[in-house]
Amino acid sequence: MSSEAVHTTGSTSMAHYGDYEPIIGIEIHAQLSTKSKMFCTASTDFGAGDNENICEVDTAMPGALPVVNKRAVEFSVKMGLALGCEIRKRSVFSRKQYFYPDLPKGYQISQFDLPLCEHGEVDFYLDGEKRKISITRAHMEEDAGKSTHHGEYSLINLNRAGTPLLEIVSGPDIRGPAEAAEYARTVHKILRYLDVCDGNLEEGSFRCDCNVSVRKKGETTLRTRVEIKNINSFRFVEKAVEYEILRQIDCYETGEKIVQETRLYDPDKNRTFAMRSKEEAHDYRYFPDPDLLPIEIDDSFINAIRSTLPELPLKRAERFEQSYKIPTYDSLVLTQEKALADYYEDVVKAAGGNAKAASNWVMTDLMRELNESKKTVETSPISSTNLGKMIALIDKGTISGKIAKTVFSEMWSSGKEPETIVKEKGLVQITDTSAIEKAIDDVIAASPNETAAYRAGKDKLFGFFVGQVMKATKGQASPDIVNQLLKKKLAGS
Amino acid sequence: MSQISDLSQATCTEIRDAVRAKKVSALEVTKHFSARIKALDPKINAFVTLNEKAELAASNVDGKIARGEDPGALAGVPMAVKDLLCTKGLKTTASSKMLANFIPPYSATVVNRLEAAGAVTLGKTSLDEFAMGSSNENAATGPVKNPWDPEYVPGGSSGGSAAALAARMAPGAIGTDTGGSIRQPASFCGLFGIKPTYGRVSRYGIIAFASSLDQAGPMAHSTKDCALLLETISGSCAYDSTSATIEVPKWSEIIKDDVKGLRVGLPKEYFAEKMDGDVERVTKEAIAALKDRGAIIVDITLPLVKHAVPVYYLVATSEAASNLARYDGMRYGHRTSNITTGSLEEVYTRSRGEGFGAEVKRRIMLGTYALSSGYYDAYYQKASQVRRLIRNEFLSAFESCDVILSPVCTSPAFKIGERINDPLEMYLNDIFTTSTNLAGLPGMSVPAGYSAKGLPIGVQLMTRHFDETRMFNVSLALENALGAVKARRPHVI
């Protein structure tokens, strides 16, 4: 998932909404990466065969009872704290009741009036501006199974039934498609930082439902909202929301009514369409689940989790910018993933503090290679220490920046240490002035015409001489020294 | 003890001792009771399914004894188990057409604990469908007869267990009690029956009726047997979050016939009810017996218990409507073969319409209504509040007494068919028992006498939460004081 770039520019212009204003709220369902399910010991492993990861609790056998997965509560509290939420000391699981074949109990265990986390907020940058979106609540619940329809019949796979989810609900604070996507990216990033969700959008472990409505600027009440489901990338969040805003504006302009409904986004056609023709008004008949006692947690439990919170991505980006003196853009890219940020900091350390060079190497050469070979920093053949050492070799003058490119690709293919590569391939930069001087003398002697022309004022020929000297030294001469000595020699002294 | 004729009259404790002392083999005991079932059950109709592996289980106990291993605290004791408890590989129907062919893949914790202690599951006993009823007339396999007079009901919902025990087709039985379903049939059939404190016994694997009220408990022919069976099945269970972690006393060893100075509270509201003359006489005799043995009789008041029946029927039906949603014909249980449109809704409505009996449907309707949007506050919510007040009222009553004594029911057993068409009259039968479940208190029915017609009548004891010890002490005192009560046998024997 890390391949999508950080969005810092290109937010959709508000101009084409006329005097309309979009109001967007997002519900994110994050699958918590626990080993077992929310209320039983069955595995959450995604790859298992159909209906293999199930037990009597998932299949709602008569008499089976749920027992809360403590780890899921810890993960939820951790995320709640990272979102700046108040953690409720006594939260309650309720039953949300409806009939559907992939919901074996006839109800989903969720949290209703007493959720675990409430009143948080999330900050991020959009177009260089800091934005703040409120978090209404984050509550725990279990996932349903999966239905697939085959004309005459349907099949049910209950492997996913009972998987722990954290539903994170934003306030209706989002005002545009780019902001919607950036909000989702930010929450995703935090989940990954905390290592409580694998964030895989394709496999459905991170799902975004966007609630979109529009109203005339200046209106204070909300108009009818539409929920968009089935969005499986951040780019599609932006596109789906944009489409839906324009659709709704169009409806109002042509006097059509907006109905409260669930719509699905079709990325191929880039449009949303109604999921069901008639949306039934569900009465979920929520009531506290009598099989589960309220979850009671105390300060020591919360504080223990708080003490394990890592530095969060935005804070880290701000620190990178300040203490490493790198541009905002670089700091945001480098803090996209915790592992990447850790890697970068290790490179800086091994490079002896040259943060700018470290940023350049990581963001250009390394990330290009990683993306091309679909690797991550965790699986990178070049360790952070080796990359850092290589930068140190440049800084010491042992190798030139140009040679470093060769060393880099050699490290990529062999995984060897930069010193070893330099030694084995004889790539040490020539800094011995007498050797360089000799090469220069030979070049000048061999090029009387060019020398005469240069001396007559044809400055452009300087590059020719540099090229010849580098060629003679097999590219190993220190460019700085070559420049310096060449100028002197050509000047005729 | 080696005489087969004695076995019928033996208690669980006596059988256990005889088996352990090798005076009789576990296999002989099981064969004896199986033969009695064969001879008597056609007249009583207590059993739904017999365990074909009972003799094998008994032989295993004998094998352990032969090898000098510990055969367990219930070595070779045959048990009649209410068909609401899941038994792995043995059909479990809840006396419902819905589960007519359901074979559980797992056993209830209670069943596992009994079998681990060497008990032999003889068979599964009839009940009012899904434990909803007070007469055992709502059973898919037809009404169960009271062994004391086959024209009379055995009570319900654990009527099959009570009748099996009274007819000595098993020396011990397991029932469940949501609003009186152990105590009322125990009273109607002349047995000791205990509903333990909520949380004392694991509900795992017991088909849920009303989760916050359900408790399983033993029915037996002596206080000591109840104590022995209860200590075997009690204790915390990792699969039931509502099971208590509190220590389980060795009641069978510690209980004593000693009520000197014990304060026995008589709630005036329970005695103000229009009461059957026989019930009143028997209750007064029990009070006098305790007074004779040094107990102090005190008057107490429980003004809110008059609301217990409506509160109970709101809470119980709400939970039941939700708990029974899983019977949708999708994964197990009855699925209609009468499909015309083929819509999902048709499969649901027909499967449930055909699978559930009238009383179950009535309660699902009531409970669905009580949880519906717009009614929740007035019904379920209000009932939950009053429930809490009733609990508090009991706790303050226990400041002035140690045990509460009352009738179990307003009358002895009634005739089959007499009340089946009057659900309200049937519900009011639970007037003395439901408040115990609402408050989570332990309650017990102790045989205390007979009606003029010769039908058994019990009295009810209630103590503080987890104070079963004191309840057993009072029960033992009554058992000893009313020796003649125990000596009588139903005519069927």
A322 and A277: one domain? no
**Is residue A7, in this structure, part of any structural domain at all?**
no
What residues of chain B lie within 8 A of the CB of A62, using their CB?
86, 92, 94, 99, 102, 104, 207-208, 326
A132 and A199: one domain? yes
What was the pLDDT predicted at A431?
A: 74
Which residues on neighbouring strands pair with residue B323, listed in sequence order? Answer: none
Nearest CA in chain A to B108: A63
Say how far apart CA A101 and CA B348 lie, in whole Å.
Answer: 10
Residue A257 has pLDDT above 50, yes or no: yes
One-letter amino acid at A349 equals K
A220 and A350: one domain? no
A282 and A324: one domain? no
Residue A162 at interface with chain B, using a CB cutoff of 8 Å: no
Task: Show which of residues 38-57 on chain A sit within 8 Å of chain B, judged by CB atoms.
Answer: 56
Q: Are B176 and B84 in contact (CB under 8 A)?
A: yes
Helix, strand and coil content of chain B, in percent to the nearest 5, comes to: 45, 15, 45
Look at residues A279, A306, A333 and tell me which one is the last residue of a structural domain. Answer: A306
pLDDT tens across A363-422, in order?
Answer: 999 999 999 999 999 999 999 999 999 998 888 888 888 888 888 998 999 988 988 888
Positions of B marked active-site: 82, 157, 181
C-alpha angle B210-B213-B219 in degrees, rounded to nearest 5:
110
Smallest Cβ–Cβ distance between B326 and the set A104, A286, A291 belongs to: A104
Long-range CB contacts for residues B150-154, cutoff 8 Å, separation at least 24: B150/B43, B150/B44, B150/B492, B151/B415, B151/B416, B152/B188, B152/B413, B152/B414, B152/B415, B152/B416, B152/B455, B153/B188, B153/B413, B153/B414, B153/B415, B153/B416, B154/B46, B154/B185, B154/B188, B154/B189, B154/B413
Optimal mutation site among A54, A102, A146, A291, interface B, most CBs of chain B within 10 A? A291
Say how far apart CA A131 and CA A181 lie, in whole Å.
Answer: 13
**Is residue A367, in this structure, part of any structural domain at all?**
yes
Label residue A276 by pLDDT band (50, 70, 90).
low
Written as six digits, the tokens of B308 are 């217990």
State percent of chain A over pLDDT 90: 68
What was the pLDDT predicted at B26?
A: 98
Looking at CA atoms only, how far is residue B230 from chain A in angstroms?
Answer: 20
Residue A279 has pLDDT above 70, yes or no: no
pLDDT tens across B29-39, in order?
Answer: 999 999 999 99
Q: Are A6 and A234 in contact (CB under 8 A)?
A: no
C-alpha angle B22-B24-B29 in degrees, rounded to nearest 5:
135
Say how far apart CA A369 and CA B27 lie, in whole Å.
Answer: 75
For B94-158, the DSSP string reads TT-GGGTT---SS--HHHHHHHHTT-EEEEEE--SGGG--SSS-S-TT-PPPBTTBTTB---SSS
**Is residue A486, in this structure, part of any structural domain at all?**
yes
Optimal mutation site among B326, B339, B438, interface A, most CBs of chain A within 10 A? B326
Say how far apart CA B343 and CA B332 lie, in whole Å.
Answer: 19
Q: What is the ipTM of this complex?
A: 0.95
Consecutive 10-residue runs of chain B (493 residues): their mean pLDDT? 68 96 96 97 98 98 97 98 98 98 98 98 98 96 97 97 98 98 98 98 98 98 98 98 97 97 95 85 97 97 94 97 97 94 91 97 97 94 97 97 96 92 79 96 98 96 98 98 85 68
Optimal mutation site among B109, B211, B239, interface A, most CBs of chain A within 10 A? B239
Residue B248 DSSP SS3: coil
**Is residue A6, in this structure, part of any structural domain at all?**
no
**Is residue A79, in this structure, part of any structural domain at all?**
yes
| CB-based contact A61 B238, cutoff 8 Å | no
**Is residue A2, in this structure, part of any structural domain at all?**
no
Domain boundaries, chain B: 4-262+442-487
Nearest CA in chain B to A291: B211
What residues of chain B lie within 8 A of the CB of A108, using their CB?
none
What residues of chain A lie within 8 A of the CB of B85, using their CB?
63
CATH number at residue A456: 1.10.10.410
Q: Are A83 and A168 in contact (CB under 8 A)?
A: yes
Which helix (H) or strand (E) covers residue B477, if one does? helix B468-481
Written as six digits, the tokens of B124 are 């599964």
Sheet holding B120-125, edge to edge: B47-50, B120-125, B78-82, B172-177, B215-220, B192-195, B443-450, B456-462, B403-407, B263-267, B296-300
A127 and A209: one domain? yes
Say how far apart CA A425 and CA B443 lie, in whole Å.
Answer: 89
pLDDT tens across B357-408, in order?
Answer: 999 999 999 999 999 999 999 999 999 999 999 999 999 999 999 999 999 9
Say how far apart CA A285 and CA B380 lie, in whole Å.
Answer: 11
A94 and A110: one domain? yes
| CB-based contact A156 B330, cutoff 8 Å | yes
Say how far apart CA B297 and CA B62 lie, in whole Å.
Answer: 48
Q: Which residue has the higher pLDDT, A399 or A131?
A: A131
Written as six digits, the tokens of B437 are 């479940």
What residues of chain A lie within 8 A of the CB of B348, using their CB?
99
What was the pLDDT predicted at A281?
A: 64
| CB-based contact A107 B108, cutoff 8 Å | no
Cα A364 to Cα A289, A307, B213, distances in angstroms: 53, 35, 65
Residue A416: which residues within 8 A CB-CB, separation 6 or more?
A386, A410, A424
Say how far apart CA A413 and CA A428 lie, in whole Å.
Answer: 20
Looking at CA atoms only, how far is residue A65 from chain B in angstroms?
Answer: 6
Provide the residue range defining the domain that includes A412: 313-425
Say how far apart CA A217 and CA A21 lie, in whole Å.
Answer: 6
What residues of chain A lie within 8 A of the CB of B211, using their CB?
290-291
| Burial of B331 per CB tally in 10 Å (0-12, 13-18, 19+) | middle
What was the pLDDT predicted at B5?
A: 53
A322 and A298: one domain? no
A200 and A235: one domain? yes
Q: Are B490 and B190 in contact (CB under 8 A)?
A: yes
A335 and A210: one domain? no
Which helix (H) or strand (E) covers residue A96, if one does? strand A93-97
What was the pLDDT predicted at B493?
A: 63
Written as six digits, the tokens of A444 are 């000048």
**Is residue A349, in this structure, part of any structural domain at all?**
yes
pLDDT tens across A439-473, in order?
Answer: 898 998 888 888 888 888 888 889 899 888 888 88
| CB-based contact A287 B325, cutoff 8 Å | no
Written as six digits, the tokens of A409 are 């690709």
The CATH homologous superfamily for domain B4-262+442-487 is: Amidase signature (AS) domain (3.90.1300.10)
A393 and A259: one domain? no
| Burial of A119 per CB tally in 10 Å (0-12, 13-18, 19+) | middle
Residue B312 DSSP SS3: helix
Residue B63: which residues within 8 A CB-CB, separation 6 or more?
none
Mean of the pLDDT values across residues A157-180? 96
Smallest Cβ–Cβ distance between A95 and the set B207, B208, B322 belongs to: B322
Look at residues A306, A332, A362 and tell me which one is the last residue of a structural domain. Answer: A306
Residue A291 at interface with chain B, using a CB cutoff of 8 Å: yes
What was the pLDDT predicted at B4?
A: 44
Looking at CA atoms only, how far is residue A288 from chain B in angstroms?
Answer: 10
A367 and A471: one domain? no
Cα four-point dihedral sign B104, B107, B110, B116: positive
Label residue A14 by pLDDT band (50, 70, 90).
low
A251 and A346: one domain? no
What was the pLDDT predicted at B273?
A: 66
Q: Are A263 and A227 in contact (CB under 8 A)?
A: yes
Cα four-point dihedral sign B456, B461, B467, B471: negative
Q: Which residue has the higher pLDDT, B104 or A128?
A: B104
Look at residues A254, A285, A306 and tell me which one is the last residue of a structural domain. Answer: A306
Say how far apart CA B409 and CA A99 lie, in whole Å.
Answer: 39
What was the pLDDT predicted at B484?
A: 79
B318 closest CA partner among B358, B372, B357, B359: B372
Q: To the nearest whole number, what is the mean pLDDT of chain A?
A: 90
A293 closest CA partner among B212, B414, B465: B212
Q: Which segment of A77-81, A282-286, B154-158, B402-406 scores lowest on mean pLDDT? A: A282-286
**Is residue A5, in this structure, part of any structural domain at all?**
no
**In B168-327, beta strands by DSSP E:** 172-177, 192-195, 215-220, 263-267, 296-300
* Domain count within chain A: 3
Q: Are B156 and B133 in contact (CB under 8 A)?
A: yes
